[in-house]
Copies of this chain bind each other. A is one copy, B any other.
């Protein structure tokens, strides 16, 4: 997705060989028209998949997931990273290990909102080690829902998450795939792996 790749090149800041900061448009400040374009692109790629629910994880996945849901005409659900006072039981829960924080956290989705009747599109801002996506996939499986695929805004193609999920036979559509952050420079894969 050229608009997104241009934005990453122009505004992304490479902090290390593994860390790309994109908080001018995705992770802290949000660029609403870009999120609209991202949502439209996810909807275009999955328009024939019979999606009934979009699911993401708070917080940075919410903007692209909601825009995808808006275009697809379905609700968007964000998995909670901790149990809140008004969501105490009746949950599907999965554990997600964060390599950056070196800790595990539970994510949870109410059993009210994903069922065996649903066909689910998972959306997230980043795909790196794949732990967050695997947690969402676990929840979709617990619910007995059909998984149509995973839509990722930015995939770090040099980390293992994309391969782990594709090796399960799951469709992964990443709008930008980064092949390297070496030497302070963002390099993209010429062709998306997903095509």
A3, CB-defined interface residue at 8 Å: no
Q: Residues of B contacting A183 with CB < 8 Å?
A: none
A23, CB-defined interface residue at 8 Å: yes
A70 in contact with B33 (CB, 8 Å): yes
Segment of A78-86, A133-141, A144-152, A164-172 in the binding face? A78-86
**Nearest neighbor of A56 in chain B, beta-carbon distance:** B30
A6, CB-defined interface residue at 8 Å: no
A101 in contact with B76 (CB, 8 Å): no
A36, CB-defined interface residue at 8 Å: yes
Q: Residues of B contacting A21 with CB < 8 Å?
A: 86
Q: Residues of B contacting A77 with CB < 8 Å?
A: 28-30
B86 in contact with A15 (CB, 8 Å): yes
Segment of A44-52, A59-67, A173-181, A184-192 in the binding face? A59-67
Q: Within residues 1 to 46 of chain A, which ones have a CB less than 8 A from any CB in chain B?
A: 15, 19, 21, 23-25, 27-33, 35-36
